[in-house]
């Protein structure tokens, strides 16, 4: 690095003293010099009429070739920062007023904050310590060290082919869905899956029914896709197909386990939904939320496995069972839709990046994913038992919770005497103040809430953490 220490014949030496070039930098010296002079002008340290150092003198001071300085000056003339006066040298241009200045550099500011980690009882938290990080890192390294040519080619908009094969096999093993890899589309998650269905199968303004209470981000994704979102109140069994309006062109449903209430849609209603879709030519988007984490019994087969008419699209995600930033999900479409979906993906452009896809493909195909799911299922079943016991001990008379047969959270209802004292928004506020994130059930309603409770995620927290949080919650709610 060379610094100009003194400079003759320039109106002011001070700014040139600060001018530094760095041969270690990637940027060419000429570009560095241009940038440095531009910055001096922009910062007002050089003003209109200031003379620039003679090219020979500046080159000597900076130990660079004179040609580099001349080229940089020419560039600045072209940009309007500098003018040359025959015989007199180069000057900062007189009309700088017309040359806007950039916003002030804010180097001193702190870098953006890192997001907060999960705290009990955040929903959506998985057991991150239990994830085989070293294995995952090794699979990434192996995939990219000497990448298959297909990984570097223009990507298939439907996703990395071996990942689609692995997902199809996984769905057959775990969810009873018999699908070919050609039916599987890799997406960046439920939002893209929904947007894709909207683009390929629905017209702007058409009505899509969603469960009430339900998944807020899903409603927003549908609305963002230009669709009319119709809330459909669920009863104790879930969504009732009889209640669907005649205008509804599609319905998004969580049959394995309603979100957030947790009940399973009975077979009769599943068949009713399928019949409705077949009769009306509508679509059923099966959001198989938490379908893999069943603690007892066997899940009902996925609705898609019962669909003869080709009206069901099955949406899944790896985000909750791996880690939240993964942003890989998938959509399984009936065979008759393969061509139109490919077309829609080509037109829209895929959003899911390729980097994680080959690692995930091997993670699934080599059985690590199944091993992880089985381990987590045992772990989460145990954590739910711990939470139920801790609630019984610390929140007796306040909250009433039943064992959920699956999933990563449960809903604690208010005991009648407590419900008379406080609503769930107030209760949640008290919990948050005590360091416990307990989301109010009413917040999952788009309209007037008809139920109160706290939604407690137990999957991501150790037993002692769960017990401490339950105790803090009980104290906060009693206070």
Residues 364, 170: contact at Cβ < 8 Å? yes
CB of 303 to a copy of itself, least distance (A): 10
328 with 318: CB under 8 angstroms?
yes
Q: How far is the CB of 395 from a copy of itself (least distance, A)?
A: 26
Least distance to a copy of itself, CB of residue 153, Å: 4
CA 262 to chain centre: 23
Separation in Å, CA 70 to CA 8, 84, 151, 238, 362? 18, 11, 45, 76, 56
Phi first, then psi: give them for residue 82, nearest 5 degrees.
Answer: -135, 145
Query: Based on CB atoms, which residue is closest to a copy of itself, 365 or 451?
Result: 365
Separation between Cα atoms, residue 118 and residue 408, nearest integer Å: 14
DSSP-assigned letters across all residues of 188-245: SSHHHHHHHHHHHH--TT-EEEEEES--HHHHHHHHHTTPEEEEEE-BTTB--GGG--
**What element of type H or E holds 313?**
strand 312-317
User: Would you give the DSSP letter of residue 352?
Assistant: S
For a copy of itself, give the closer residue by CB, 191 or 474. Answer: 191
In the complex, the smallest distance separating the C-beta of residue 409 from a copy of itself, rounded to whole angstroms, is 15
CA distance 463 to 395: 16
Taking the C-alpha atoms of residue 348 and residue 381, their distance in angstroms, rounded to an integer, is 41
Choose between 27 and 450: whose C-beta lies nearer to a copy of itself: 27
Closest separation in Å from C-beta 402 to a copy of itself: 19
Token duo for residue 452: 């109160």
In angstroms, what is the minimal distance from the CB of 325 to a copy of itself? 3
Provide DSSP, 378-391. HHHHHHHHHHHHHH
Q: Which is nearer to a copy of itself, 9 or 105 (CB)?
A: 105
Query: Smallest gap, in angstroms, from Cβ of residue 351 to a copy of itself?
Result: 4
Nearer to a copy of itself, 57 or 274 (CB): 274
CA pair distance 472, 353, nearest whole angstrom: 41
Minimum CB separation of residue 330 from a copy of itself in Å reads 13
Q: How far is the CB of 256 from a copy of itself (least distance, A)?
A: 13
> For residue 55, what are the contacts with CB-CB under 8 A and spacing of at least 6?
66, 69, 70, 73, 90
> Based on CB atoms, which residue is closest to a copy of itself, 162 or 453?
162
Minimum CB separation of residue 91 from a copy of itself in Å reads 18
3-class DSSP state of 86: coil
CB of 419 to a copy of itself, least distance (A): 30
Residue (of 179, 180, 190, 186) closest to 215 by Cα position: 190
* Distances 430 to 1, 121, 399, 473 between C-alpha atoms, Å: 58, 14, 14, 8
> What is the bridge-based pairing of β-strands 248-253 and 207-212?
parallel
Q: Which is nearer to a copy of itself, 84 or 301 (CB)?
A: 301
């Amino acid at each position: 690095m060379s610094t100009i220490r003194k400079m003759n014949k320039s109106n002011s030496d001070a700014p040139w003293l600060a001018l530094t070039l760095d041969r270690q930098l990637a940027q060419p010296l000429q570009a560095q010099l241009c940038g440095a002079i531009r910055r001096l002008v922009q910062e007002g340290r050089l003003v209109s009429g200031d003379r620039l150092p003679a090219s020979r003198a500046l080159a000597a001071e900076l130990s660079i070739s004179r040609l580099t300085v001349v080229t940089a000056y020419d560039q600045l003339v072209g940009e309007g920062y500098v003018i040359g006066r025959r015989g007199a040298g180069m000057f900062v241009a007189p009309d700088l007023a017309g040359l806007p200045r950039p916003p002030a550099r804010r180097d001193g500011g702190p870098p953006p904050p890192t997001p907060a980690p999960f705290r009990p009882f955040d929903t959506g938290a998985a057991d991150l310590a239990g994830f085989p990080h070293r294995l995952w890192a090794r699979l990434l390294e192996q995939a990219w060290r000497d990448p298959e040519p297909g990984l570097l080619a223009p990507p298939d908009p439907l996703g990395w082919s071996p990942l689609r094969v692995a997902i199809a096999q996984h769905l057959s093993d775990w969810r009873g869905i018999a699908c070919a890899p050609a039916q599987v589309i890799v997406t960046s998650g439920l939002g893209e899956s929904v947007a894709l269905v909207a683009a390929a199968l629905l017209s702007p303004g058409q009505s899509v029914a969603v469960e009430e209470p339900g998944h807020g981000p899903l409603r927003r994704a549908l609305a963002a896709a230009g669709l009319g979102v119709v809330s459909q109140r669920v009863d104790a069994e879930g969504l009732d197909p009889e209640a669907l309006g005649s205008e509804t062109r599609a319905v998004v449903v969580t049959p394995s386990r309603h979100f957030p209430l947790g009940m399973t849609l009975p077979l009769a209603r599943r068949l009713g939904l399928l019949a409705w879709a077949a009769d009306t030519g509508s679509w059923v988007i099966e959001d198989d939320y938490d379908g893999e984490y069943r603690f007892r019994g066997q899940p009902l087969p996925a609705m898609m496995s019962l669909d003869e008419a080709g009206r069901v699209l099955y949406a899944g995600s790896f985000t909750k069972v791996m880690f939240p930033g993964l942003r890989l999900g998938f959509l399984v479409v009936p065979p008759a839709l393969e061509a139109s979906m490919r077309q829609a993906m080509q037109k829209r452009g895929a959003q899911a990046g390729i980097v994680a896809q080959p690692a995930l493909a091997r993670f699934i195909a080599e059985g690590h994913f199944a091993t992880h799911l089985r381990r987590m299922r045992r772990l989460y079943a145990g954590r739910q038992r711990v939470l139920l016991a801790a609630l019984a001990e610390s929140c007796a008379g306040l909250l009433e919770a039943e064992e959920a047969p699956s999933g990563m959270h449960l809903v604690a209802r208010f005991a009648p005497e407590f419900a008379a004292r406080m609503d769930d928004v107030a209760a949640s506020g008290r919990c948050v103040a005590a360091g416990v994130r307990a989301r109010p059930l009413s917040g999952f309603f788009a309209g007037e809430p008809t139920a109160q409770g706290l939604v407690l995620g137990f999957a991501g927290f150790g037993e002692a953490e769960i017990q401490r949080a339950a105790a803090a919650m009980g104290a906060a709610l009693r206070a």
